[in-house]
Amino acid sequence: MPEPIRVLHFADLHVGMENYGKVDPETGISSRIRDFLDRLDEVIAYAMDHDADLVIFAGDAFKTRDPDPTQQREFARRIKHLADKVPVFMLVGNHDIPGMAARATSIDIFRTLEVPNIIVGRTISSQVIQTKRGPVFVGWVPFPVRGRLLAQEDHKGASVEALDRAVEALVIGELNDLAAEAASQPPSVPRVLVGHFSVGGATYGSERSVMLGRDLVIQKSSLTYPVWDYVGLGHIHKHQNLTANDPGSPPVVYSGSLERIDFGEEVEDKGFCWVELERGKTKWEFVKVNARRFVTIKVDAREADDPTTAALAKIAGRDPSTGSARGLAGAIVRVSVRLRAAQEASLRERDIEKALREAEVSTIAAIGKEVEREVRTPLGAASPETLTPVQLVERYFLSKGKSADEVRKYVQAAESLFNDE
């Protein structure tokens, strides 16, 4: 019996993210760019160590559409090294697409130079890829761009919503065609679909903060045909299996991004998917990488005699779950201290910075203060206890500078609600 075909699926590398980084004076490269390249090195090492048959990259090689030459060189060097050992399929994501349709994508150079063992998915298409353990049928859909998919003369003057519906219909039609092609393959050939887009029901991550291009959402039902053995997706940074609760459906999996980009991904594991591809009985697992840690330290110092001492104790504190000292070495850290107004002047930020440096953090992202100030209700001479609920509503909106007509409407609405109650 033939062995399962070993596939590594990863996505959303985003080389070029420099937030919270420091420039290395010797190389001129940001420490954060180094982080993203190190994660790619982890992927390549895993593929080599586990004798991968095929590597699938589901889009977004760089942060920007026009990466600088150093970033391109470092990325290309690694991909070429990988392709010397194993076939590599690379899909075009939204961060890879230039603003003008006639311009090349950031990964087109591999196709232009006909680098052996590398296939670039620039347009919707498919191909049977030969691996050392057998053939794999791969269909793919790059990030859908209206201007590249729709003839302008056919949609001149159409609204944005109408254009989105037209693109969605076109992509769904192409997905159906790809499924029909997959169904026509020999029974023993496993089939993989690769896409870079949002799927209905997926949980978004921090990709929304760095997204390029207008997003399009494809319904999951267009991807769950049993003809597919694995659907590998890119675009959303949070790893997730969209068919975990759908028995009989193929795995529809976002591998997620390889490195954290901000504190919105602080608690998310980062990594890639290792797939044992076999017709009708594919198995896969998520493999974590050593992504840079983001740590938020929250300090409630409102009852403390000295808020700085409370913050320092929290930084040097122990993990209650393990009893070990808090490990901050190499992490990107932010501190948020909750204070009373009277304590604000006594918070010594330089002492906190010193403690963080001694803990060998990579970057101090921020030391923030959340000051709890006394709230004075603008009720004039009246005590709140002497006013009716409707009068309280009226005073509130007057204090917000609302006009007399607006206040009258709010009061009428409040009276209606209170009467119904």
Q: Which CATH number is 266's domain given?
A: 3.60.21.10
Residue 416 is assigned to a structural domain of this protein: yes
Residue 391 is assigned to a structural domain of this protein: yes
* Residue 311 sits in the same domain as residue 331: yes
What is the SS3 assignment for 322-347?
Answer: CCCECCCCCCEEEEEEEEEHHHHHHC
Cα distances from 297 to residues 19, 234, 332, 337, in angstroms, run 19, 31, 11, 8
* Residue 263 sits in the same domain as residue 361: no
DSSP string, 194-205: EEESEETTPPP-
The predicted pLDDT at position 348 comes to: 95
The predicted pLDDT at position 325 comes to: 43
Domain count, the chain: 3
Residue 377 is assigned to a structural domain of this protein: no
Last residue of a domain, one of 270, 288, 306: 288
The predicted pLDDT at position 418 comes to: 72
* Residue 165 sits in the same domain as residue 135: yes
Candidates 46, 39, 42, 44; CA nearest to 17 is 39
The predicted pLDDT at position 323 comes to: 39
Helix H or strand E segment including 254? strand 252-254
CB 313 within 8 A of CB 352: no
CA distance 115 to 161: 40
Per-residue pLDDT tens over the stretch 188-220: 999 999 999 999 999 987 655 555 556 788 999
The predicted pLDDT at position 322 comes to: 42
CB 355 within 8 A of CB 363: no
Cβ atoms within 10 Å of 269's Cβ, excluding its own:
14
Task: Tell the residue number behind the tokens 């070429």, with chain if given.
Answer: 80
Residue 378 is assigned to a structural domain of this protein: no
* Residue 350 sits in the same domain as residue 368: yes
The two three-digit tokens of residue 135, written as one number: 């053939």
Last residue of a domain, one of 237, 261, 288: 288
Task: Name the residue range of residue 277's domain.
Answer: 5-288
The predicted pLDDT at position 166 comes to: 82
Last residue of a domain, one of 253, 288, 323: 288
Residue 13 is assigned to a structural domain of this protein: yes
Strands of 142-229 (E only): list them: 191-196, 198-199, 217-218
* Residue 358 sits in the same domain as residue 388: no
> b/e per residue, 200-217, with b = 16+ CB within 10 A?
eebeebbbeebebbebbe
Candidates 138, 17, 41; CA nearest to 89 is 138
Query: Which portions of the chain are predicted below pLDDT 70?
Result: 1, 99-102, 146-158, 160, 206-214, 318-326, 374-386, 420-421
Candidates 56, 52, 131, 135; CA nearest to 93 is 56
Candidates 235, 182, 221; CA nearest to 14 is 235
CA distance 155 to 147: 10
Q: Is 401 left (phi over 0), alpha (psi -120 to 50) or beta?
A: left
* Residue 155 sits in the same domain as residue 273: yes
* Residue 53 sits in the same domain as residue 141: yes
* Residue 220 sits in the same domain as residue 274: yes
* Residue 395 sits in the same domain as residue 364: no
Residue 153 is assigned to a structural domain of this protein: yes
* Residue 199 sits in the same domain as residue 230: yes
* Residue 212 sits in the same domain as residue 319: no
The predicted pLDDT at position 165 comes to: 81
The predicted pLDDT at position 28 comes to: 78
* Residue 249 sits in the same domain as residue 391: no
pTM for this predicted structure: 0.81
Q: What is the DSSP letter of 266?
A: T
Residue 379 is assigned to a structural domain of this protein: no
CA distance 380 to 157: 57
* Interior angle at CA 61, CA 57 and CA 66, nearest 5: 150
The two three-digit tokens of residue 421, written as one number: 């109650």
